[in-house]
Structures are given as C-alpha cells and as structure tokens.
Amino acid sequence: MTASPEPAASAGVYAGLIRPSVERMQPYSSARDEFEGMAPVMLDANENSLGSVGPDDFSRYPDPHQRAIKEELAQLKGVAPDNIFLGNGSDEAIDLLVRLTCTPGQDRIVVCPPTYGMYEVAANLNDVRVERLPLNANFQLPADAADQLARSTAKLVFLCSPNNPTGNLLAREAIESILRHFKGLVVVDEAYGDFAAAPSWTTRLAEFPRLVVLQTFSKAWGLAGLRLGVAYASATLIGYLNKIKPPYNISAATQQHALAALAAAPQLLEMQADLLRGRSYLVEQLPTLPIVEHVFPSDANFLLVRFNIDATAVYDQLRARGIVVRNRTSQPGCAGCLRLTVGTATENDTLLQALTEIGAGGLQVPAAAAIK
C-alpha cells in the first residue's frame, strides 16, 4: 500500500476552492465519533437497546467512517485509507463536491456533453451555473480544452471516462493537460473503468493534488442495489468531504455486503471477462443488422448504437417486446442513438433477434406497446 503524500502547502493548492462557510463550520460529531467499537452497556446514541424488528439485528449505528471497507479497498487499489471517501452511490460524492466548492448563485462547474446527467442535476440543485465544453464528433475533448479551462473560473470540471453514454475513454493526454492547467478540481468519473484496458487515474493522485477519481460498486461489482460509490483524492480533500457528509451515510447492511464482496474480489475478474466477451459478441453482430448504421467503440459494459431508421420507434418496439434499453436520441451528438447494456448471453441473443424482426417488419409497434 502506498500513501499519497500531501502537498507541502495544501492551503495554497486549494486556495479559493473550498467554500468559506465550509472552512468555518464545525462538523457534526456523532456518538460513534466519540466512542469507537462496542462496550457491555451502550447508552450513548439513543438506539433501541432491545434490538431490531425482523430477523437481522441492525439496532446499532454503523461505523460513520467505514474503516473496515477502506482498509480492504486501500490494499486492493494501492492507496492509503485516508485517500478514500465512501458515499451513497457516486451521486453523493458528486453532490458533496459541488457543495464543497461552489457558493450557490455565484460559482460554476464545467461538464462535457454528452455525459452523465447527474453532474448538471447536482449543480442545478445547488444553484450553481453550468459551463458546457462539448465533446467533438469522435466524443473526445476538443484540442483546446485545456486552454479553455485554464481561462475558466469554474470550481470543478467533470470528466467521465469511460464516458456515459458514449462508452469511450477520454484521451489520457487531454486529461493530463487539463490537470496541469485548470485551477479547479478535476473529477475523473471511472464508474465504468473496470471494463477498460487502461490504468486508473488513482495511480496519479500523488502527482495531482486537485484530482478526484470516482468509482462505484454498481457496475463491474454487480452491487447497484447497495448504492455504494467511492471517491479517491488527497487526504485533505477527503477530510473536507467527511466534514460535510451526513454522519451515517453508509448503512450497516451496505457495509456488511461490501465487505463480503471485497472478500470475494477474485470473482470480479471472472465477471469482467464474461461481460467483455458479451460486448465483443454484440460489437461483432450488431453491424450485420440492416437497421444499424454505426456501433461506437466502447470501453464500458454498454454500446452506443446509431440506427438508420427512427431510433425512438426502435426503442418503442423493443419495449413492447419486454426489452428495455436507453433512448439517447436527445443527447448532444447522439441523434438516432440507443444505449444498449451488455446482458447475459441469452439476453444478448434476445436483443439481436428482436432487432432483426424490427428491421424485417417495419415500424408498426405491436399492441403490447400499451405498456406504460
């Protein structure tokens, strides 16, 4: 395990980035902050000392700092535990990063559409303005992205890589240039990074103190129902996130299941391999269908596919057949596109058969389309 050394003058690195109100505030101190572990008589947190309703006992508050999970993750990822923040999905970390840095009605963030919609939702919720730096036709950052951001007064830029909904990795050189020139925090969202043949940006935390890397247990780990996201950053930034998070943001049940998953981490590689085989199969088969115009390259567990007929009509017909995909036709640069998640071998074949039938039968939506 390697710790990420702190910059010699962290105040200088983060000067002007942290909201003054956050600097001044006193964080909430929970009962489990003041006493760790268990004692024979626990009467400090107003819990129900008689136990829980139901078969499992969750009557005690969980560890507010999720120490056991962070120890395991630190070994797996080659970082220090104090470089790790755990949130209720990556969405909590996204929201907290906006609130940490942006004063409502005053500051702004940068997003690179088409991209994950929660960055903008978090900004709108916090009354923070949004600057858009659109990806080019190849869904890569524009050549002058670093120059544009060097002139920006935004507090954050969100870079989704592999990107959602396009599936591709953003060029590493472009991200590095932004890290060297942008004065705000650079948030690289690696929710789909486990499906990509590229090193994680967590390996560069020591080099770039304004770098934040987001990951999740929802995708490759197959634990979307747990709602557990991870942010990796300098210990100073992680300390700020811990300061403003809700005291018990990760439930005891989630911590329990996450530890069980980490103990079974070798299974992750088997699932990755199966999903990548499924992705390769779809990449091979989809272009053979007459209604498919283009399958975009993907480093994720989904494919963005452009159709040469009305994509919304294809979406409706798939839905009528009990197949739910994501309609992305309204996203910048994604006209005529649907996002298709890689499924099981059976699901992939069912999808291909349905698309074949749709191509052969015109665009009449079956009566079953009454599904709402």
Tens of pLDDT along 12-34?
899 999 999 999 999 998 888 88
Q: Which pLDDT band, with edges at 50, 70 and 90, does 347 fall under?
A: very high
Tens of pLDDT along 247-276?
999 999 999 999 999 999 999 999 999 999
Q: Which has the closest alpha carbon to 302: 268, 322, 278? A: 278
Tens of pLDDT along 188-220?
999 999 999 999 999 999 999 999 999 999 999
Question: In this structure, what token pair is assigned to residue 59?
Answer: 């009557």
Query: Coil, strand or helix: which one is 69?
Result: helix
Strand order in the sheet with 337-341: 292-295, 302-307, 337-341, 326-327
Tens of pLDDT along 81-117?
999 999 999 999 999 999 999 999 999 999 999 999 9
CA atoms within 13 A on the CB side of 202: 27
Instruction: Determine the Cα–Cα distance for residues 371 and 44; give it in Å rounded to an integer.
Output: 52
Q: Which pLDDT band, with edges at 50, 70 and 90, does 42 fall under?
A: confident
Instruction: Determine the Cα–Cα distance for residues 88 and 304; give it in Å rounded to an integer.
Output: 27
Report how far apart, in Å, the C-alpha atoms of 52 and of each of 26, 28, 55, 59 are. 32, 26, 8, 5
CB atoms under 10 Å from CB of 266, counted, come to 7
- Per-residue pLDDT averaged across 161-187, rounded? 98
The average confidence (pLDDT) of the chain is 93
- For residue 6, pLDDT beyond 90: no
CB atoms under 10 Å from CB of 279, counted, come to 22
Q: Which pLDDT band, with edges at 50, 70 and 90, does 144 fall under?
A: very high
- Burial string for 183-201 (b: 16+ CB within 10 Å, else e) reads ebbbbbbbbbbbbbeeebb
Q: Which pLDDT band, with edges at 50, 70 and 90, does 11 fall under?
A: low
Omega cis (within 30) before 165: yes
Among the residue ranges 56-65, 147-156, 233-242, the one predicted with the least confidence is 56-65
Q: What is the pLDDT of residue 44?
A: 83
Q: What is the pLDDT of residue 345?
A: 98
Omega cis (within 30) before 113: no
DSSP calls for 82-148: GGEEEESHHHHHHHHHHHHH--TTT-EEEE-SSS-THHHHHHHHTT-EEEE----TTSS--TTHHHH
């698309």: which residue's tokens?
355
Instruction: Determine the Cα–Cα distance for residues 191 and 328; give it in Å rounded to an integer.
Output: 19
- For residue 371, pLDDT beyond 90: no
- Domains of the chain plus CATH, in order, are 10-263 (3.40.640.10), 267-370 (3.90.1150.10)
CB atoms under 10 Å from CB of 333, counted, come to 17
Q: What is the pLDDT of residue 257?
A: 97
Q: What is the pLDDT of residue 65?
A: 96
Instruction: Determine the Cα–Cα distance for residues 250 and 218; give it in Å rounded to an integer.
Output: 14
- For residue 1, pLDDT beyond 70: no
Instruction: Determine the Cα–Cα distance for residues 282 and 204; give it in Å rounded to an integer.
Output: 33
Tens of pLDDT along 275-290?
999 999 999 999 999 9
- For residue 9, pLDDT beyond 90: no
- Per-residue pLDDT averaged across 301-330, rounded? 97
CB atoms under 10 Å from CB of 175, counted, come to 23
- Per-residue pLDDT averaged across 289-294, rounded? 97
- Non-local CB neighbours of 205 within 8 Å, separated by 6+ positions: 4, 79, 83, 211, 213, 232, 233, 234
Contact 240/100 with Cβ under 8 angstroms? yes
Tens of pLDDT along 58-85?
999 999 999 999 999 999 999 999 999 9
- Tell me the whole-structure pTM to 2 decimals: 0.93
